[in-house]
Structure 1
Amino acid sequence: MSAPTTERSDAVSESRTSGRSWLTGPVGAGIAAALLFLVLWQVAGVVGDRIPGPGPVLDAAMKEIERGEFFYNFAISMQRFVIAMLISIVVGIAIGLAIGSSRRFDDLFGDVNLVGLAIPAVIWALLCAMWFGFADTAPIVTVIFSAVPFIVVNVAAGARSVPPALLDMSQSYDVPRSRRLRHAVLPAVTGYVVAGIRFGVMSGWNGLLLSEWFGSADGVGHRARYWYDANQLPGFVAWIAFFILFMVVTDRVLLERLSRRAFRWRDGESAPGEPAAAAAA
């Protein structure tokens, strides 16, 4: 009779432990932070007459959805963003591998990439608006200029992390350059590529909003600018909140999981691309 009783008590204890870990873990902390933010937002909306609370903002967002503006502008922005990020990933990986693997390329383009890191996205947005006008080209080029330097700096750091002894040995055995790249360099830089893409996505998404704000007739940034010029804060805040929410969800649901998967073989260590990108930013 004692064995079933012990098993039930163990099961109850495990259930309570898992419940406490869920409440005190990252999910519980995230929910608590979100609730605290909503409470503070509501208080700010009641106290201040120039800060719209969650209610008016949600109402403005629902009206944008009913008008069809939400899905239309979001689809346009996503199309531009996906095209620009695909180009940025290809270009960033190629340049990063060249800089990290070749001293000559590092001397030629290393400082240029640092200059790209130092230029804020708003400068690229203004320049591209003047260069390309109100068309799809300006937002796409802005995203590329904003994202590529972050991808390059991380991929270059990954290429430099490849043990020189391994490359020297492969050269001594006359291993073709393509095989060295495929079997020695690329596996070592995979995690750095994911980290670079993660920071590139965040920087590029900011660049997209700014470019559409200054030089576009549609898109998420343009719609936020529309309500800003109309001095309608609920509509403006609704689009900004959506912009921030989309970036956070994309990072947490997709990019962070990809980063953890890329560095699953380095348990207990931080992603090497993250410190590099953070320091560069």
Structure 2
Amino acid sequence: MDTSVTPDAVAELSAREVRRSVLSRWGFRIGVVVGWLSFIGAWYLVTEFVLGAQQLPPPHVVAQEAWEVLSDEGFGATVWASLLRVLVGCTLALIVSVLFGMVIAYSNWWRNLLRALTRFFVSIPSVALAILALIVFGVSGLGPTLTATLVATPYVMSSVAQGLTGVDRRLIVMSESFGRTRAQIITGVLLPSSVLSVIGGARQAFALAWRIVLLTEVFAASDGVGFQIKRSFESYDVRGLLAWTVLFIGIMLLFENFVFRQLERRAFGGAHAVGGTGRQQ
């Protein structure tokens, strides 16, 4: 049996891999389209045969209402009020998580202490924190921001600590043998090696912060998307409530696809570049 590698065999294998990759991408896209169509179809069926149009408006009615909300002059200010709180809460949670993640990764005593505190904060209901924010901060933008930070930090800290723990210890030992300081090791080895975990933690912080900010705005804010959802609920405007929810989901998907995925691709490429440079050295 001839097992020699020829240029024709390599070209044929490459062509098969390209076709397989193209088919895989198209299969994923078709699956996404079929999934959304199935969801919309199920929505129409539930509206028609289970709940009725008054309790659950059909998708085209919600889409029309969402377009009217989107065309309103105050839409931008409403979304920006919530988005600013989310971004600030997400950033604070990420900073605290990176700092404590380093401590957890390299100190057993702090690891045990922070694990106990993490279990405590994770067990607190989000609704209780939202009401507590109303009591402590009143109706203001500070309550939703700090509540989002408090809820997101334990989850993100665990993700970041796991990424830091997985850093190759040989790189740290080699850096120490060359006389690098602790600050240089952190900035030159730990953070670049765990950048994907940090970005994953940022994505998780953003997702959690969105949910908590909207929940807290229902109780403790006078503007924002959560406040608009509360107004729609109080006036029994199901179309408006669903329209704001759909727009909220759309904004989440935009951030997911055009911010975090792009950051992950660039960071993944940069990690390969760093690894290649290290091997060449």
Q: What TM-score, normalized to structure 1?
A: 0.80
CA distance in 2, matches of 1:38, 1:167: 52
The residue aligned with 1:72 is 77
Cα deviation, 1:12-61, whole Å, max 9, x if unaligned, reads: x99xx69x837842222112211222222222222332111112212322
1:198 Cα offset (Å): 1.3
CA distance in 1, matches of 2:151, 2:104: 18
**1:149 maps onto 2:154 in alignment:** yes
Q: Assess, with a 3 A threshold, how the Cα gap between structure 1 residues 62 and 163 changes in structure 2: closer, same or farther.
A: closer
Structure 1's unaligned 5+ residue stretches are 1-12, 267-281
Cα deviation, 1:72-122, whole Å, max 9, x if unaligned, reads: 211111122122222222222111112112223213323212333343433
CA distance in 2, matches of 1:120, 1:28: 38
Contact 1:100 1:155 in 2 (8 A): no
1:66 Cα offset (Å): 4.1
| 3-state DSSP of counterpart to 1:25 | helix
| Structure 1 residues 1-281: aligned runs within 5 Å | 21=23, 24-47=26-49, 48-49=51-52, 50-263=55-268
Contact 2:63 2:243 in 1 (8 A): yes
- Considering only aligned residues, what root-mean-square deviation do their CA atoms show, in Å? 2.7
Letter in 1 for 2:126: A
Q: Assess, with a 3 A threshold, how the Cα gap between structure 1 residues 159 and 113 changes in structure 2: closer, same or farther.
A: same
Q: What TM-score, normalized to structure 2?
A: 0.80
| 3-state DSSP of counterpart to 2:256 | helix
Cα deviation, 1:252-279, whole Å, max 9, x if unaligned, reads: 332234335444669xxxxxxxxxxxxx
1:196 Cα offset (Å): 1.0
Letter in 2 for 1:91: V
The residue aligned with 1:275 is none
Structure 2's unaligned 5+ residue stretches are 1-14, 273-281
1:175 Cα offset (Å): 2.4
CA distance in 1, matches of 2:115, 2:132: 23
Contact 2:69 2:243 in 1 (8 A): no
| 3-state DSSP of counterpart to 2:194 | helix
CA distance in 2, matches of 1:103, 1:168: 19
How many equivalent pairs are there? 253
Contact 1:216 1:222 in 2 (8 A): yes
The residue aligned with 1:6 is none
Contact 1:45 1:52 in 2 (8 A): yes
Letter in 1 for 2:43: W
Identity %: 24
